[in-house]
Structure 1
């Protein structure tokens, strides 16, 4: 085992095949998602559905014309991808808002995982509404894999952002159940903010004493995290824990820069009402800022 990671064994064989949905808008970003989904479907022997959503906010004649053209282009695009050759899959062209069409198809196919490419940002519109993938994550209940990079190999270095919460435990379990951690080295990152540090500085306490306090805090937080994950049947070796002082996003961003993972895993807590409509969560900030592939796993009691 390399220092700094935990080798995750191959997951148990499912009693039923995994069901996977990949969305495409025919862009280069979507093509990366199609390739990754095809590779995963082949390895996991999953049932794969490929969906394209046609905007229906136009005259019915134009919508139907685009739907037929999209179906033709979808077949042509899929035929060019080596990852999908000799693989059983089905295609679907649906109408509606992009995020809603994807979620409806995920519901009808009982998808275990939704795979999407990173979507083009639209500046002010995204501030208030969010990208398609963000809206799928906010309003859906299924894990979403956002593919940012070309498929070169299986995921080998996986980083999970964690804390002592059920969503964090659920995210790691889900990643393992989906086969995304098979033979991968898993590292965990956690950020904590010391409220006492500022008070100690104001009180004029020596820097050396403050550093000793922070070292003790790091040790305490690490032991508590290790105990929490062990109690929840997630085995974590001490070397895999990367605990740093700082805000959650800041610490995650630094860890991604330093470790260069193939995949980042984040668990999210279900939100309702206005919180579902506004941006600002760590997960949404990470989605917009990190260039690695990201698995977002929602948690709803």
Structure 2
């Protein structure tokens, strides 16, 4: 990994993301680019005043990272819509990873959908890390998720190329469906028949996951399967809590139970509710002929 871009608004949430980005930069030797976007859809005097303040704050942050943390660091200010500015900065810098802070959590409603964070994650060409957990050290346990699709396979390989999480335990989750138990007549099935059917579906899902891991070079990861009895996001968060994962890895493109409307319902729910770091990885862009 050569370039990590941190999008900061100088809030406490952004400070958490900054410390995680600094840990990753130090561990991988990557350069860290600090970016602040000034919303330019306001009176010019306000934009210029905020730009000046941001320039001084970024200078101090960059100086501290270079001199106290020993990290190669540069800074940039972009005048644009926050979402567009972050996405453009990541593309222009050729960022391998974009780090953002957690979104503001509301007690009465989920305010994730439609936020700058959601728009950035949904459209970014590079992996995006939402730093939710306390950045006290390297990750200890990674939970990777897959729907066994080709797109998910490509995303997991792209995650491997980032070379982050070295030394951490790795678990791969596949949420499987048991369609017969969703049918109207499922309630008429005898209990033993339901149990046998579910065991067969679980064994089949476990076999497919084992084959998938072998094909993606993740044979050393611990496979787990869970039935999609609850919404997929709940299964992901439940599995993460059970194994003590401190980083969740999701693919931004896929099909089936786990990836249905990813960055529609599933990923938005995970990102809105997760108390640990979440990394959303798009598959590599198609090679141009």
TM-score (norm 2): 0.86
Equivalent of 2:176 in 186, 192, 208? 192
Which residue of structure 2 aligns with residue 236 of structure 1?
219
Q: 2: CA distance between counterparts of 1:45 and 1:141?
A: 22
User: Does structure 2 retain, via aligned residues, the 8 Å contact 1:116–1:146?
Assistant: yes
Change (3 A) 1:82 1:29: farther
Specify whether residues 270 and 109 from structure 1 end up closer, same or farther in structure 2 by C-alpha distance, changes over 3 A only. farther
Q: How much does 1:200 deviate?
A: 8.7
Q: 1:114 to 1:278 in 2, by over 3 A?
A: closer
Change (3 A) 1:125 1:209: closer
Report the CA distance shift for 1:198/1:101 in structure 2 as closer, same or farther (over 3 A).
closer
Aligned residue for 1:269, secondary structure, equals coil
Q: Please say if 1:170 is aligned against 2:154.
A: yes
Q: Secondary structure at the match of 2:252?
A: strand
Q: Give the structure 2 partner of residue 117 of structure 1.
A: 101
- Cα deviation digits, residues 161-198 of structure 1 (max 9, x gap): 11211232223222222122311111011212211124
Map residues 50-69 of structure 1 onto 2, 5 A cutoff. 50-69=34-53
Q: Map of 1:198-237 to 2, 5 A cutoff? A: 198-199=182-183, 202=186, 204-231=188-215, 233-237=216-220
Could you tell me how far apart the structure 1 residues matched to 2:160 and 2:226 are?
25
Corresponding position: 1:265 with 2:249 = yes
Q: Secondary structure at the match of 2:60?
A: helix
The answer as to whether partners of 2:110 and 2:272 remain within 8 angstroms in 1 is no
Gap runs ≥5 in structure 1: 1-16, 272-276
For the residue of structure 2 that corresponds to 1:183, the secondary structure is coil
> How do 1:16-31 and structure 2 match up within 5 A?
18-31=2-15
Deviation at 1:278, TM superposition (A): 11
Contact kept? 1:19, 1:48, Cα under 8 Å: yes
1:79 Cα offset (Å):
4.7
SS at match of 2:224: strand
Separation of aligned partners in 1, 2:171 and 2:236: 12
What does residue range 1-301 of structure 1 map to in structure 2 within 5 Å?
18-79=2-63, 85-121=69-105, 126=111, 130-199=114-183, 202=186, 204-231=188-215, 233-237=216-220, 240-246=222-228, 247-269=231-253, 280-299=264-283, 300-301=285-286
